Amino acid sequence: MSARENANEAIQSSIATLTAAGVPLEELAEYVPRRPRLLGSSRARFRSLGRVWHLGVLLVSPDGSVYSTGASTRAVRPRHPNNQSVSAEARRHFRDTAFKGPFVEGATINYDVRPVDFSPVGLQGPFGSVFEHDGRILVRWRPGADETNSIPLADYIAEKVTLAVASTQPSVENP
């Protein structure tokens, strides 16, 4: 079995397991910045792109698409501006934008994601979360990791799926 077939089998198996276990999906969206118009401007917004399972540095959709994580926010009512730092106000802006829709309150929204390209050329990039080395498809679980500090994709997904399933199961306490 080729590395790509093995990766596809691992992804399809993870989808079946996550679905059967009822692991909740998160939102996938594109941030659309405010745009000037003739009379005023449009507000910044998120455009929904679907739903995904968050598996560490990867996002997997029910249709089998895989994305490298980017940024995320929650659709919650933002608090009063503190003007403490530019980054805090940026996070506040994204929470406010997500809260205004089209998502349910409390939803986690993933944006600024990059689709994983499983073509031979797509897997050669030095910075992507998923890459190929010596005929194996590996996952960089942290930026800058080389092949010696990376994990085979099938193993990485299996571990993250196990953790996701375990986190949705009710805990059993010992008497």
* Residue 126 placed within a domain: yes
Round the average pLDDT of the chain to a whole number and report it.
88
Q: What is the pLDDT of residue 171?
A: 61
38 pLDDT more than 60: yes
Residue 34 has pLDDT above 90, yes or no: no
pLDDT band at 173 (very low <50, low <70, confident <90, very high): low
Residue 172 lies in a domain: no
Give a yes or no: residue 74 inside a domain. yes
Q: What is the pTM of this model?
A: 0.85
Residue 171 lies in a domain: no
Give the residue numbers spanning the domain of 69.
3-34+42-166
Tell which residue, 100, 92, 14, 79, has the closest CA to residue 52: 14
Domain-located, residue 57: yes
Counting the structural domains of the chain, the total is 1
Residue 175 inside a domain? The answer is no
Q: What integer pLDDT is reported at residue 6 of this predicted model?
A: 87
**Token pair for residue 131?**
């890459």
Residue 173 lies in a domain: no
- pLDDT over 90 (residue 37): no
Collapse the DSSP code of 122 into the 3-class scheme (helix H, G, I; strand E, B; otherwise coil) and give the result. helix
